[in-house]
Structure 1
């Protein structure tokens, strides 16, 4: 009997490890989606830079999170023997991999906002600092109960801040951090002509669409695998993610007037918004959340295209920042039993947690970018920007130097 119990325990451990590993790989693949979404949106002279930024940000994020960020968030380090680290089939190591792919999404989100005029190494340094200090500070508060804030919220409102898969922790924080960087960089050269703002059309709709498809597929690993174990897996999460995604598409189609750029960002808006409450909402509620998110993205991105202060190339602030905030609050509304949800949420706690995430992102962004600016410029020169980041930084264009 003891042998049977041991075998069952080993099977459960190995199954959980494999389950989370598949999730980590799916979220890792989403970074290709971030890359191609940016490649398809920026002008041809900045496509190589978009690809390079995403993969190098991922590497830098991994190092920063491994040595500092994970320690801050979960009070866990990897300064132990390999035999200790590989206990329980290495589940703790795979958990790091999974959560690191979330952390690395922050610089990938920021990358789309600051595209076409940001210097490479200063923002790479900023990515490292954000993943090492800013993101894990808030991540630890929400997902590890650090500093007793979740306990205080539960006592005060009857529920903790609920963010199952990171509408606010990942997307909201990333989007509001991007807003700070976008504001500090200012308009791209050429956006203002004859005292009027002009828009730059996406360079490659097929690449943009490919990025969206890869992100949508990987997102089911992002959301469903946030359970982090086989016994926590829920078809409700998958169904809610699906309904919010299609809600975002329909809204973007209608409000975006058939524009392919809007239509391919619509599902992402819905998926961003549903992350927080995907485990507690009813599918019809998720559909509504996705529809509202699609409308938010189209309306707000259209508005900021006329702003002389905010030149957000991919619209990452409305997509991740604002739709993420909407998702955080929506979890407290549509997660209520009275609206068909599973309950256990509080609107007040969701508002407090969402606002806290925004504040952490803005203050953290100002601190990081101010520090980086203190010893380096963060923007390409006018000549470098005119030439394009590909040739100015990487010395090669997307189709070679012919």
Structure 2
């Protein structure tokens, strides 16, 4: 009975996080220009397919030391094997796969409108099959000695309950290398370096993507307990307040801009993942508010001051706000600030800094090698036509093409 409840619990969580990939797709489709909407939708679902195969074959084994190349009887808890009864470990794989597949979905938004299709799938296979599992294994799998080393130094392990650093900061800092190596979209800046506005193509799609992500996030966070017995309503409450804090801060900092508002909610959710199980709700609200303001500041800095053409702002949203979340868990998780305790700010600094450094270096290495070998950017003509026609040979609105 208990195993069956855990199967159901994790399956619902996995399905909710699977639905988040539709959120990533519509958020990107609504932000990019119409000539790149089909590409946005196809990239997300195809990345999910590649991620599933490589994570099943290689990635999960690296992260947790478990292989699925045994009989189905053993996989479902029979034959005296290491797997739990009724396939609990199988839905755990499904759940954690959705986290792994979020990494290329995050990167996709940053490199939109000018990236080649097949090289990006190659990057997905490398990242989800090899690189991300190393990070996951070090933090969540207890492998490779990282957590033991941090605990020996600080007296506490690095705490990242639902992936502010393991998933979001890691994906955002990987994306930074890809975005910089790709370069800005043609026509994004004048020769003098002045920004040329490219407005979102479809605000309702953008808003729909944000809403889907927000709803799915409660599966992402709450079900990270991975069992019914350890599930906590505190995680749900903290996720809600951080989401609200992020969007309200973005209303003010972003001057009512709908793109900032809808992404501000996501910024709050990114930041609260790490400490959602140990923070007081007021700490979660503050964390979310800080993240919403940080996203608006970071997005504007990237686009205007630093000339980093990160289309959806995935580095400020996931990279910077995920980094903030890793550190905030060490602050607002303290008992002195109403938290449950058991966390160390020093441990959080070490774990967060290590994850950021690993991701940043990996992003430049993976995309740098692909750039030098197969190329990662569409040529000028294909970029001008748009990825929909250049890669998929179909526009998002074919009936309009017939009328013309």
How much is the aligned-residue C-alpha RMSD, in angstroms?
Answer: 0.9
1:43 deviates by 0.3
Q: Which runs of 4+ in 1 moved over 2 A?
A: none
The 1:321–1:308 alpha-carbon spacing in structure 2 relative to 1, beyond 3 Å, is closer
1:307 deviates by 4.0
Question: 2:36: which partner in 1?
Answer: 46
1:101 deviates by 0.2
Unaligned 5+ residue runs, structure 2? 78-84
1:309 deviates by 4.0
Q: Deviations over 1:105-141 (max 9, x none)?
A: 0000000000000000001100110001111101100
Q: TM-score, normalised by structure 1?
A: 0.96
Question: 2:68: which partner in 1?
Answer: 78
Of residues 112, 116, 122 in structure 2, which corresponds to 1:115? 112
3-state secondary structure, aligned to 2:49: helix
1:374 deviates by 3.3
1:217 deviates by 0.2
Q: Deviations over 1:330-376 (max 9, x none)?
A: 00000000000000000010011001111111121122112322321
Is the counterpart of residue 218 in structure 1 residue 216 in structure 2? Answer: yes
Following the alignment from structure 1 to structure 2, what is the Cα–Cα distance between the partners of residues 194 and 16?
A: 58
1:298 deviates by 0.6
Contact kept in structure 2, 1:151 and 1:160, CA below 8 Å? yes
Following the alignment from structure 1 to structure 2, what is the Cα–Cα distance between the partners of residues 373 and 266?
A: 32
Question: 2:81: which partner in 1?
Answer: none
Question: 1:292: which partner in 2?
Answer: 290
1:308 deviates by 5.5
Is the counterpart of residue 178 in structure 1 residue 168 in structure 2? Answer: no
Following the alignment from structure 2 to structure 1, what is the Cα–Cα distance between the partners of residues 254 and 370?
A: 37
Following the alignment from structure 1 to structure 2, what is the Cα–Cα distance between the partners of residues 116 and 178?
A: 14
3-state secondary structure, aligned to 1:231: coil
Q: TM-score, normalised by structure 2?
A: 0.96
Alignment: residue pair count: 392
- Structure 1 stretch 302-311 or stretch 343-352: which is displaced more? 302-311
Is the counterpart of residue 380 in structure 1 residue 381 in structure 2? Answer: no
Question: 1:8: which partner in 2?
Answer: none
Question: 2:144: which partner in 1?
Answer: 147
Unaligned 5+ residue runs, structure 1? 1-10
Following the alignment from structure 1 to structure 2, what is the Cα–Cα distance between the partners of residues 342 and 179?
A: 34
Alignment of 1:189-200 (within 5 A): 189-193=186-190, 195=192, 196-200=194-198
Following the alignment from structure 2 to structure 1, what is the Cα–Cα distance between the partners of residues 149 and 319?
A: 25
Contact kept in structure 1, 2:6 and 2:88, CA below 8 Å? yes
Following the alignment from structure 2 to structure 1, what is the Cα–Cα distance between the partners of residues 243 and 340?
A: 20
